Amino acid sequence: MQTKTQKQNFVKKHFPQSRNDWRLYFSKTLPIIVGEILFCVNGFLDNFMVSHLPKAIDALTYANTWTSIIYTVFFAIQGIAAMFVGQYYGKKEYDKVNQVMGMRIWTFVVIAISLCLPSWINPSIMIKAVGGANVHAATLDIANKYLLLITISWLVTTYSFNTNMLLNEVGHSKYALVSSSLTLFSNVLLNALFLYVFKKPAYYAAIGSIISGVICLVSDMLFLYYKDRAIFVNPKNLFKISKPIAIQILKRVPSMILMIGAMITIPLRTFLWSRAYPQDSVGKVWMGISGVTILGLVESLSSIASAVTSACSSNVSYFVAMQLGQGNFKEAEKHAHALKGFHTLCGIFMSLIILGAIYGIAYTPLITGGVEKNTIKYFQDPTNLAKIKAEFPQILSASDITQAFINERAKETIETFRLNFLRSCYTAVAFNPLWCWFYTSAALIRAGGRSYLSAFVTLIANTLSFVWLVIIAFAIVRHHSNVITLPIAYFLFYSFDFIRLIIFEVVAYKVDWKRNITEETENKNTNDFNNKLDIGKTKKDLVNNVNLKIS
């Protein structure tokens, strides 16, 4: 009986306790989720809207791996810095919020430029670093041109990312949603014009991303200025950062580096998948399908399904960190437990929604158009006749390659692509609720300023996961390629997330994360003031002693 009661209490504790809490969570979370979906759809759009062009998915996936790396670094830093924003905003110390944002923006600028420079100098090296030395010439050409353009978007994002996240972190998620909606709408419109109306090459998709990024930035700035001017991110004030705030943020730089090292393993997975399943390795050689052709789309859809994980950090900042900044530790703990169950439930609903969308996408002719055209082109190319005859004994001469034969091969390619795509998507959808739970636990660890511990734990968990992928790519797949298909390998990789769940849960349970970090700067200022008083008192005593001696 006691065990049953304990189970009931555990379940009850991990969900909102009242109707008001449910309403409050939904009102703050839904705009963040929808906004993140729009943000992720924005990334998916480039891949999806060029899928009718041969080699375009591979090219954009290789180039956007660097975009993913930049966004991953940005999210890693934001995950730590968001807690400062939440606590200072909760105490109405808006000037300190602006200083924290200034530090964030300058950090992002340095990171973006560090990747822009090599991309401008030698884009081919950047693409081959992801796809390997044997990237097809046509793929490389598209990827190079796209990469050169998308770097401009990176620079715009250094500012727009922060303004949009700031709106979420302080509870203005509905305004962030409007900005995200404008971004998506403009990107869809521009891509449709460039790629379908004007029939431009695939790299024109980057121009849509640049313009939509500028629209997002302008929209965010207008909302901040007119709705919460106290935290308006004025470019003129980016240099106004006090020493205590600078020290407080800089003290977390090592933890940020650890977190970046941990999170960067996520986009680096593309490097391994492209080597485990290189070009022409999925299905038959003549299909021209690689692991990246499939996973470029799957990972984009997976990021949409996992939009709830973006709300994890923002919600912990708003509901937990703000309470910690006000010293309400009991209230903070209540929200901490309830958010785990709430986020997981949202993750389940998102998975069900995305599952329906996946089937709709899989049977859309647009998504298979690129591989279909590539197959037709392969069989129509006379230079491939020897390889075709070796593969198909019934083909004795070029005249035997009829249109009906080519159509059959194209149909076979489409079915192979669709089957691998759907089965890989099942894995991403199934594991999504699990991610929502342990990403909330990870955010709780750093809510009270335990950024070093959070970063270290994330680094260990993600590094172990990455090592597991190395084993899959270079040991299991290499020696059992006939048995371990791409969907099976993808499932084996994500099965390790049960280990990651255990790691985060144990640490979140053991560590005392309920701390008020705003006292750090208060104590620093108080100590500085007391030191000045002591120095002044000492000087006064010395003067009095001298006067006594003279008299």
Residues 104-127 have pLDDT tens digits of: 999 999 999 999 999 999 999 999
Q: Are residues 394 and 276 in the same domain?
A: yes
Any domain includes 398: yes
Q: Are residues 202 and 307 in the same domain?
A: no
Would you say 183 and 134 are in contact if contact means Cβ atoms under 8 Å apart? no
**pLDDT (average), residues 363-391:** 88
Q: Are residues 223 and 280 in the same domain?
A: no
Whole-number pLDDT of residue 518: 67
pLDDT-derived band at 523 (thresholds 50, 70, 90) equals low
Any domain includes 259: no
Token output for 199: 């029939």
Any domain includes 256: no
Q: Are residues 243 and 379 in the same domain?
A: no
Q: Are residues 230 and 370 in the same domain?
A: no
Any domain includes 39: no
What is the pTM for the complete model shown? 0.75
Any domain includes 401: yes
Residue 519 pLDDT more than 80? no
Q: Are residues 246 and 281 in the same domain?
A: no
Q: Are residues 76 and 222 in the same domain?
A: yes
Q: Are residues 420 and 289 in the same domain?
A: yes
How would you class 192 by CB atoms within 10 Å of its CB: exposed for 0-12, middle for 13-18, buried for 19 or more? Answer: middle
Whole-number pLDDT of residue 550: 36
Given 251, 279, 307, the domain boundary residue is 251
Q: Give the 3-state secondary structure of 448-513.
A: CCCHHHHHHHHHHHHHHHHHHHHHHHHHHHHHCCCCCCHHHHHHHHHCCHHHHHHHHHHHHHHCCC
Given 222, 251, 280, the domain boundary residue is 251
- Non-local (6+) Cβ contacts of 523 within 8 A are none
**pLDDT (average), residues 409-424:** 94
How would you class 384 by CB atoms within 10 Å of its CB: exposed for 0-12, middle for 13-18, buried for 19 or more? Answer: middle
Any domain includes 207: yes
Separation between Cα atoms, residue 370 and residue 372, nearest integer Å? 5
Separation between Cα atoms, residue 58 and residue 139, nearest integer Å? 7
pLDDT-derived band at 4 (thresholds 50, 70, 90) equals low
Q: Are residues 433 and 352 in the same domain?
A: yes
Residue 544 pLDDT more than 80? no
The whole domain housing 134 covers 57-251
More confident call, 326 vs 115: 115
Any domain includes 540: no
Give the tens place of pLDDT for each residue, 455-489. 788 889 999 999 999 999 999 998 888 889 999 99
Residue 204 pLDDT more than 60? yes
Whole-number pLDDT of residue 538: 43
Given 219, 251, 283, the domain boundary residue is 251
Give the tens place of pLDDT for each residue, 178-201. 998 899 899 999 999 999 899 899
Report the alpha-carbon angle 24-30-33, nearest 5. 140
Whole-number pLDDT of residue 297: 85
Separation between Cα atoms, residue 470 and residue 480, nearest integer Å? 15
What is the number of structural domains in the chain? 2
DSSP-based three-state secondary structure for 289: strand
Separation between Cα atoms, residue 409 and residue 405, nearest integer Å? 6
Q: Are residues 244 and 270 in the same domain?
A: no
Any domain includes 286: yes
Q: Are residues 214 and 303 in the same domain?
A: no
Whole-number pLDDT of residue 177: 86
- Non-local (6+) Cβ contacts of 504 within 8 A are 438, 441, 442, 445, 457, 461
